[in-house]
């Protein structure tokens, strides 16, 4: 069943089991996770950062930018979280996914990319399954050593 709202839950760490309709935020680790809003049950991890997802709280709900494109999930759902509400977008096509991977990599400085294109905002961004991401301490270390 599709979810149309995500309620924020501020946690010390992302729990093992996620509940539908909850947007978990572990700000200490810049970590954010929720179950895919389409109802498929997949965990969607959206790390918080300047080249990842950005969040804003308006006192009613959490706004998350850019959109959440679940191109790596079977459902390929794609939506925007706006003040806690899910605004649905068209499912991601293969072309969206390939284009977005390149843009995201360029935004993160991983691949050379023409400078004119580099200014484009990375939208939507591919969310990776939770397990595919490096633990926070590895990411923190990489930031420190700059690799």
| Member of 23, 38, 81, 86 binding Zn ion (CB under 5 A) | 38
Question: Is residue 11 within the footprint of Zn ion (CB under 5 A)?
Answer: no
Helix (H) or strand (E) holding 118: helix 115-118
Contact by Cβ (8 Å): 22, 37: no
Q: Under the criterion CB under 5 A, does residue 105 sit at the interface with Zn ion?
A: no
CB of 120 to Zn ion, least distance (A): 26
Binding status of residue 89 toward Zn ion by CB under 5 A: no
Q: Contacts with Zn ion in 109-138 (CB under 5 A)?
A: none
Q: Which of residues 57-76 bind Zn ion (CB under 5 A)?
A: 75
Neighbours of 49 (CB within 10 A): 12
Q: Which residues have C-beta within 8 Å of that of residue 144, sequence separation ≥ 6?
A: none
The piece of 2-10, 32-40, 58-66, 78-86 that touches Zn ion (CB under 5 A) is 32-40
In the complex, minimum distance from the CB of residue 36 to Zn ion, in angstroms, rounded to a whole number: 3
Q: Which residues of 87-125 are buried (b: 16+ CB within 10 A; e: fewer)?
A: eeeeebeeebbeebeebbebbeeeeeeeeeeeeeebebb
Is position 40 an interface residue for Zn ion (rule: CB under 5 A)? yes
Q: Is 107 in the site for Zn ion (CB under 5 A)?
A: no
How many CA atoms lie less than 13 Å away from 45 in the CB half-sphere? Answer: 19
Interface pick for Zn ion out of 14, 25, 33, 36 (rule CB under 5 A): 36
| CA nearest neighbour of 124 among 99, 145, 94, 147 | 99
Task: From 38-46, 48-56, 94-102, 116-124, give the range in contact with Zn ion by CB under 5 A.
Answer: 38-46
Interface residue list for Zn ion (CB under 5 A): 36, 38, 40, 75, 77
């Amino acid at each position: 069943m599709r979810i149309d709202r995500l309620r924020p839950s501020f946690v010390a760490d992302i729990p093992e089991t996620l509940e539908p309709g909850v947007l978990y935020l572990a700000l200490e680790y810049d970590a954010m996770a929720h179950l895919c809003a389409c109802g498929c049950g997949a965990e969607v991890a959206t790390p918080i950062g300047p080249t990842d997802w950005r969040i804003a709280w308006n006192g009613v709900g959490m706004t998350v930018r850019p959109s959440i494109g679940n191109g790596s999930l079977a459902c390929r759902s794609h939506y925007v979280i706006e003040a806690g509400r899910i605004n649905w977008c068209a499912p991601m096509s293969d072309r969206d996914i390939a284009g977005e991977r390149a843009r995201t990599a360029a935004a993160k400085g991983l691949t050379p990319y023409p400078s004119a294109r580099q200014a484009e905002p990375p939208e939507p961004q591919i969310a990776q399954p939770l397990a595919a991401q490096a633990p926070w301490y590895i990411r923190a270390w990489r930031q420190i050593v700059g690799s």
